[in-house]
Chains A and B, each alone.
Chain A
């Protein structure tokens, strides 16, 4: 009996991971390599290098654990994401559920234990072992619980898959920062694991015993198919471009504002519980009195608002980055890379298709950023307890008066008193504009993956972006000493110049390619390059001015002129938009 059960389990696991078996061999080899590297003397394997080598760990772990959910799952679908042909095998539901759950948790916990005990502990003393292991297990089980059961609305599952695992992953860090003990955090994670396993099992039972939602709906439609109702509830589109904009808006544009509003709403829940959570800020106003003593004053502030209000502009930006990486179905092509025949045969030029997408992304970005500003204002004007409403200057220094006021009023009073009001407001305005542009940019550069007709490339793109970004951050974080010496300036200048040269070369190659493929529209690519030079120049001037005004306070030596100016040309997109245009051309007309 036990032997049969084990055999069934092994069969299920084999079927789940067989297609990606090379990854399951490569990941342990990578771990082995890490163990060797961490055991080398520090002069051979400096912390910078080790930090860099750790970058693929998270991705590899996520990928291999996800294999036990279903590596080819369509998150946006409303049907079960459990591989349908494995689901139909003559095996007990128990075998189909429990073995992948055990395998996913064992793989996740095992990988973390190997990394933490055999690698990290050798270099760093302060490494938590238990709760991160349970967090990985909880994540694996949550993915199974979200993806295995059929759901009513596919997009609801997508929202859950984007938010719930993030919240669970962040919980441990936030709880540790709030001085929760490791035991309590472990207990919470164990509870999450049990609940997720229960949901996952029930979901699989549901997936096995009920027909797909598509089929259910079909049957209900067939039953009334003899009653055809002709409706024209909406006006016709005024132009093909308007119709295409509508399509892109439905497929991609509206996703960002919807997700942003959801996250902002969830974040706002915390405010209602934390409205009275005040902290005392000391030495806000300081001056030297006649006796030569420094006098300081203090006043109370709302901890929640002080901490989280500045984080809100990041919400649309982070979500746009995730969406831009391809975390949703492409509008024109299927998962296999082939363009949908219906969309590919619309009587539109590739340029019209492209600009419809860009406009829908722009509209979505404006809405998302607008909603964020609105929520920030609401947070700011909500009355909270124990804020400083005014201050009277006495011979002992400013005397704050407390009462019930809005956070914004407190902040403005504080800034006014410090003489930084104008500068801060300007800074906020510049930040909002920058964040809005950056949000649009992150979605726009990712749009090229919507058109690329290679399924492999589309899957590899998010991985490549994450690895490159993580590598840059790791190197940056690990090399602070280098960036604080004058030589760092020239090193960074060299790297950025090479980067710009690579971008320019790709753009020029794209221009030539597009000229060959569609001579009538090559001016568009030339415009893109001209736009890059123009937007890059504006950004370079802006960053240059910031550097000039903040120059002496610069934390990094290497951020002095001409680094900000070069950085502007690196950040303003040119290569990927042109590549997107080529991908659309070659994908639609292969």
Chain B
């Protein structure tokens, strides 16, 4: 169990306050259906890992939460407000860091801090200085002259220094070295440690998601295909291996997906109780050789149709 989860478990909230509420969200770009009837609710204090393949719709969803995209279908509410209708009211409470960074490269770190600080009433300059020292960012350094990792740290610095109520991270550690990734994870853990902070964390690096998230949402082709507590996901998903007397077509077992065949043996990821799986296997005429626990990575690979490891 990750550090984030442990801290989360320690402070289960009695009264759940909704931070994000997305209902029936749909979005089309040309002929491409980027989001299709997405429903998502996120309560205060939750760390949500948003996973999915490239082009699955993760960034589109996050952009809707930031008000950068208008909802074509459905509704989006963040802190109970429409982020398009009230950008200052919503954005002043969100810390955002994206893969692209997109910081103004002509600014110095000092200028970035000074400029960013103006927008957030809760800006904590002491905390900002601490983070800046920790990240090794010189005030006089120009953002354009920093390496990708340092720029990510600068982005993280201004996203965290006002202790945001909601931290939105869109593939923040993509393409970065392990040390910067550790800093980003550390930041998430610190944010979690702050009472009542909420994190939505989109990443390809599923090990990281497992480490810090307590809930996982998997998006595929614009649809939410999985939305569960991480512990439940790991508890209910199994890798099954079934043997048959002779080569047959993939057996029909409810909750199984990502079937792969090798000779007369079939493997899949199955979301069901062991007893139910056993019954279904018996019914199909096969023999259940083994069931093992799976990682988030295995589930992701199976959902996306890739070969299981």
Interfacial residues, chain A to chain B (CB-CB below 8 A): 214, 217-218, 220-222, 224-234, 236-237, 239-240, 242-243, 246-247, 250, 339-350, 352, 518, 520, 588-590
Cβ-based interface call for B220 (8 A): no
Q: Flag if A214 contacts B88 (CB, 8 Å).
A: no
Residues on the B chain within 8 Å of A589, using CB = 67-70, 84, 87
Residues on the A chain within 8 Å of B147, using CB = 218, 221-222
Give a binary string over B84-109; 1 marks a CB under 8 Å from any A CB, 0 the rest: 11011111101010101111101000
Residues on the B chain within 8 Å of A226, using CB = 136
Taken together as a complex, chains A and B put the C-alpha atoms of A212 and B155 apart, in Å, by 23
Q: A217-B144, A589-B67 are in contact. Are A227 and B114 (CB under 8 A)?
A: no
Q: Flag if A221 contacts B110 (CB, 8 Å).
A: no
Q: A230-B139, A349-B87 are in contact. Are A237 and B118 (CB under 8 A)?
A: yes
Q: Flag if B119 contacts A346 (CB, 8 Å).
A: yes
Q: Taking CB as reference atom, which chain A residue is nearest B84?
A: A589
Cβ-based interface call for B192 (8 A): no
Cβ-based interface call for B236 (8 A): no
A221 touches which of B66, B69, B94, B146 (Cβ 8 Å): B146
B87 touches which of A217, A218, A222, A348 (Cβ 8 Å): A348
- Beyond A228-B138, A340-B102, A341-B68, list 9 extra A-B contacts (CB 8 Å): A217-B142, A221-B138, A224-B138, A227-B136, A232-B114, A236-B117, A246-B115, A346-B119, A347-B87
Most B CB atoms within 10 A — which of A225, A342, A348?
A: A342
Q: Flag if B133 contacts A230 (CB, 8 Å).
A: yes
Can you list 10 A-B pairs, Cβ within 8 angstroms, ordered by A? Answer: A228-B135, A231-B110, A233-B110, A340-B102, A341-B102, A344-B68, A347-B87, A347-B89, A589-B68, A589-B84
What's the nearest-Cβ distance from chain B to residue A419, in Å? 55
What's the nearest-Cβ distance from chain B to residue A159, in Å? 16
What's the nearest-Cβ distance from chain A to residue B59, in Å? 10
Taken together as a complex, chains A and B put the C-alpha atoms of A553 and B206 apart, in Å, by 81
What's the nearest-Cβ distance from chain A to residue B308, in Å? 35
Taken together as a complex, chains A and B put the C-alpha atoms of A485 and B243 apart, in Å, by 100
Taken together as a complex, chains A and B put the C-alpha atoms of A404 and B274 apart, in Å, by 108
Interface size in chain B (residues, C-beta < 8 A): 47
Q: Flag if B102 contacts A221 (CB, 8 Å).
A: no
Cβ-based interface call for B132 (8 A): yes
Cβ-based interface call for B25 (8 A): no
Q: Which 3 A-B pairs have the closest CB atoms?
A: A243-B118, A217-B145, A347-B92
Cβ-based interface call for B129 (8 A): yes
Q: Flag if B119 contacts A231 (CB, 8 Å).
A: no
Residues on the B chain within 8 Å of A520, using CB = 85
Q: Taking CB as reference atom, which chain B residue is nearest A348?
A: B88
Residues on the A chain within 8 Å of B155, using CB = 342
Most B CB atoms within 10 A — which of A230, A233, A250?
A: A230
Q: A237-B118, A243-B119 are in contact. Are A349 and B88 (CB under 8 A)?
A: yes
Residues on the B chain within 8 Å of A243, using CB = 114-115, 118-119
Cβ-based interface call for B244 (8 A): no
Q: A229-B140, A347-B87 are in contact. Are A341 and B100 (CB under 8 A)?
A: yes
Q: Taking CB as reference atom, which chain B residue is nearest A216?
A: B145
Q: A243-B119, A347-B92 are in contact. Are A229 and B142 (CB under 8 A)?
A: no
Q: A214-B144, A225-B150 are in contact. Are A345 and B135 (CB under 8 A)?
A: no
Cβ-based interface call for B141 (8 A): yes
A590 touches which of B69, B96, B139, B145 (Cβ 8 Å): B69
What's the nearest-Cβ distance from chain B to residue A548, in Å? 50
Cβ-based interface call for B257 (8 A): no
Q: Flag if B68 contacts A588 (CB, 8 Å).
A: yes
Q: Taking CB as reference atom, which chain B residue is nearest A586?
A: B70
Residues on the A chain within 8 Å of B110, using CB = 231-234
What's the nearest-Cβ distance from chain A to residue B76, in Å? 11
Most B CB atoms within 10 A — which of A233, A349, A589?
A: A589
Taken together as a complex, chains A and B put the C-alpha atoms of A343 and B158 apart, in Å, by 13
Cβ-based interface call for B19 (8 A): no
Residues on the B chain within 8 Å of A233, using CB = 110
Q: Flag if B106 contacts A237 (CB, 8 Å).
A: no
Taken together as a complex, chains A and B put the C-alpha atoms of A534 and B151 apart, in Å, by 48
Residues on the B chain within 8 Å of A346, using CB = 91, 119
Residues on the A chain within 8 Å of B115, using CB = 237, 243, 246-247
Taken together as a complex, chains A and B put the C-alpha atoms of A229 and B110 apart, in Å, by 10
Q: Taking CB as reference atom, which chain A residue is nearest B68?
A: A344
Residues on the B chain within 8 Å of A220, using CB = 145
Cβ-based interface call for B79 (8 A): no
Cβ-based interface call for B137 (8 A): yes
Taken together as a complex, chains A and B put the C-alpha atoms of A224 and B140 apart, in Å, by 12
Residues on the A chain within 8 Å of B89, using CB = 347
Q: Flag if A231 contacts B67 (CB, 8 Å).
A: no
Q: Flag if A342 contacts B118 (CB, 8 Å).
A: no
Q: Taking CB as reference atom, which chain A residue is nearest B100?
A: A341
Q: Taking CB as reference atom, which chain B residue is nearest A346?
A: B119
Q: Taking CB as reference atom, which chain B residue is nearest A520?
A: B85
Residues on the B chain within 8 Å of A236, using CB = 114, 117-118
Residues on the B chain within 8 Å of A224, using CB = 138
Residues on the B chain within 8 Å of A234, using CB = 110, 114
Q: Taking CB as reference atom, which chain B residue is nearest A339?
A: B68
Q: Flag if A214 contacts B145 (CB, 8 Å).
A: yes
Taken together as a complex, chains A and B put the C-alpha atoms of A299 and B118 apart, in Å, by 62
Q: Flag if A218 contacts B119 (CB, 8 Å).
A: no
Q: Flag if A343 contacts B104 (CB, 8 Å).
A: yes
Q: Flag if B133 contacts A228 (CB, 8 Å).
A: yes
Give a binary string over B19-60; 1 marks a CB under 8 Å from any A CB, 0 the rest: 000000000000000000000000000000000000000000
Residues on the B chain within 8 Å of A341, using CB = 68, 96, 98, 100, 102
Q: Flag if A228 contacts B137 (CB, 8 Å).
A: yes
Taken together as a complex, chains A and B put the C-alpha atoms of A234 and B90 apart, in Å, by 28
Residues on the A chain within 8 Å of B150, using CB = 221-222, 225
Residues on the B chain within 8 Å of A344, using CB = 66, 68
Residues on the A chain within 8 Å of B85, using CB = 518, 520
Residues on the B chain within 8 Å of A350, using CB = 87
Q: Flag if A237 contacts B88 (CB, 8 Å).
A: no
Most A CB atoms within 10 A — which of B102, B110, B120?
A: B102
Q: A221-B138, A243-B118 are in contact. Are A230 and B91 (CB under 8 A)?
A: no
Taken together as a complex, chains A and B put the C-alpha atoms of A228 and B147 apart, in Å, by 15
Residues on the B chain within 8 Å of A345, using CB = 66, 68, 91, 94, 96
What's the nearest-Cβ distance from chain A to residue B62, in Å? 10
Taken together as a complex, chains A and B put the C-alpha atoms of A447 and B133 apart, in Å, by 39
Taken together as a complex, chains A and B put the C-alpha atoms of A341 and B66 apart, in Å, by 10
Q: Flag if B106 contacts A342 (CB, 8 Å).
A: no
Q: Flag if B106 contacts A229 (CB, 8 Å).
A: no
Q: A347-B87, A347-B91, A589-B69 are in contact. Are A342 and B145 (CB under 8 A)?
A: no
Most B CB atoms within 10 A — which of A227, A228, A232, A234?
A: A228
Q: Taking CB as reference atom, which chain A residue is nearest B108?
A: A231
Q: Taking CB as reference atom, which chain B residue is nearest A233?
A: B110
What's the nearest-Cβ distance from chain A to residue B115, in Å? 5
Q: Taking CB as reference atom, which chain B residue is nearest A76?
A: B106
Q: Flag if B132 contacts A230 (CB, 8 Å).
A: yes
Taken together as a complex, chains A and B put the C-alpha atoms of A518 and B87 apart, in Å, by 11
Taken together as a complex, chains A and B put the C-alpha atoms of A339 and B150 apart, in Å, by 22
Taken together as a complex, chains A and B put the C-alpha atoms of A236 and B118 apart, in Å, by 7
